Amino acid sequence: MSRFKKTDSDAETRNSKILFSAIKEFISSARPTGSKYLKAQYNLGVSPATIRNVLASYEKRGLLTHSFYCSGRIPTALGLNFYVNNILSRPEIMDGVKIAEFEDCADEFAILKAAARVLSLHSEWVGIAGSIDISSEEYEFEIKLISKKKVLLYIINPSGKIYEKLIILPDEVSRKSFDFIRRFLRENRSSSPGALKNKFRALYIENRKNIEKVLTGLAVLRTMQKITLQTSVNPDISKRKMETLTKIFSLLDDNGILISQIIENIPDEDCVVKFCLEKLPGEFNDLAVVMSNFKAGEERFVCCVLGQQYMNYMRVLPLVKGITMAAGKRLTEVI
């Protein structure tokens, strides 16, 4: 029985090595990977037929897929998570890169700006660094009717900073309906809006879609007031596919989605690297965020790289880890 277990374990180790090699090769070459190529490039100790069978089994499990024009395999989101989780524990990743860029930074703004720049420079993607006030719950808000299908929503935090967002409503709104929406928002904040729903049920049903749209916008603004981001885009990103560039800049322009994902996925411990792939909405599902965070003073800070899902993780993971540790150390000194 012990001999069988050992053989079974060896086979699983071999299969994992085959999967790891296939994903690593695709990330390096951006081309689907076949069994003959893997046999030639890696010391896997098995025949191309065995490699092909192993790849097929991982495809059935959802870790690999293949394009319609080629028999070579491509990693799925699940496969990428397997790859990242397998390399996160490596010493060269856990130790982080040693980049001294913060000695001359005298304040929080300069440190975060430098961190974003270094992350973009060395990742060849988008570097992001920011401060987060998780406890920032107090705010005042107002809503103004701009036209029949547009309202301006803005909130003011305790320090007086204003965040605003133009909301395009799904349905046209009358002055009476707008006044009801405004009242509903205030009731929704102070207590349960159930009584208002029941008392003015017809008005609520009539304006439900508009109310939901405005509530979503308010949630985005409340998230935005908690975090301040510095971003830096590597000039070489212009060489990437136009489709990828369009999605990245769209995400940066309307950064409420990005901010929400950063806040929701902050690691529990300082300087732990987290891989966020399947957390972004469907239209951005071929992008990924690698992030880490640290606490300095009363604030929490994040360092991230935003790029395509097949970025060079052997470079990006230790980069995010190292910059997070270095920026955190310097922030602790100046705050």
The string of pLDDT tens digits covering residues 69-124 is 566 888 888 888 888 877 777 776 666 677 777 888 888 899 999 999 999 999 99
Whether residues 236 and 326 share a domain: the answer is yes
Locate 200 and state its tokens: 């003015």
State pLDDT tens for residues 254-266.
777 787 778 777 7
- Structural domain boundaries, residue 208: 140-224
Kindly state whether residues 62 and 29 are assigned to the same domain: yes
Decide if 28 contacts 63 (C-beta within 8 A): no
Torsion of CA 195, 198, 203, 206, to 10 degrees: 120
Is the same domain home to 44 and 167? Answer: no
The torsion angle over the Cα atoms of residues 199, 201, 204 and 209, rounded to 10 degrees, is 150
Phi, psi of 19 (to 5 degrees): -60, -45
Q: Choose the final residue of a domain: 168, 190, 224.
A: 224
Quote the number of domains for the chain. Answer: 3
Distances (CA, A) of 110 to 103, 104, 125, 252, 331: 11, 9, 20, 21, 10
Same domain for 99 and 237?
yes
Write the pLDDT tens digit of every residue in 140-183.
888 999 999 999 998 887 667 777 888 999 999 999 899 988 88
Query: Where does a domain end: 224, 245, 262?
Result: 224
Structure-token match 């965040």, residue found: 163
Helix, strand, coil abundance in the chain, percent, nearest 5? 55, 20, 30
On whether both 323 and 231 belong to a single domain, the answer is yes
- Which pLDDT belongs to residue 76? 85
309 and 210 inside one domain: no
- Residue 233 and residue 126 share a domain: yes
In this structure, the answer to whether residues 330 and 259 fall within a common structural domain is yes
For residue 235, the SS3 value is helix
Alpha-carbon Rg for the chain, nearest whole angstrom, is: 25
Q: Among 186, 209, 224, identify where a domain stops.
A: 224
DSSP 144: E
Q: Give yes or no: residues 56 and 191 share one domain.
A: no
| CATH at 275 | 3.30.450.40
Let me know whether 115 and 237 are in one domain: yes
Cα–chain-centroid distance for residue 73?
25
**Cross-strand pairs, 288:** 307
As a whole-number percent, the residues of the chain with pLDDT over 70 amount to 86
Q: Mean per-residue pLDDT for 53-77?
A: 84
CATH number at residue 18: 1.10.10.10
299 and 282 together in one domain = yes
**Same structural domain for residues 169 and 285?**
no
Please state at what angle helix 313-334 crosses helix 108-123, rounded to 10 degrees. 170
CA distances in angstroms from 134 to 139, 230, 297, listed in the order given: 13, 18, 13
Whether the full predicted model's pTM is greater than 0.85, yes or no, is: no
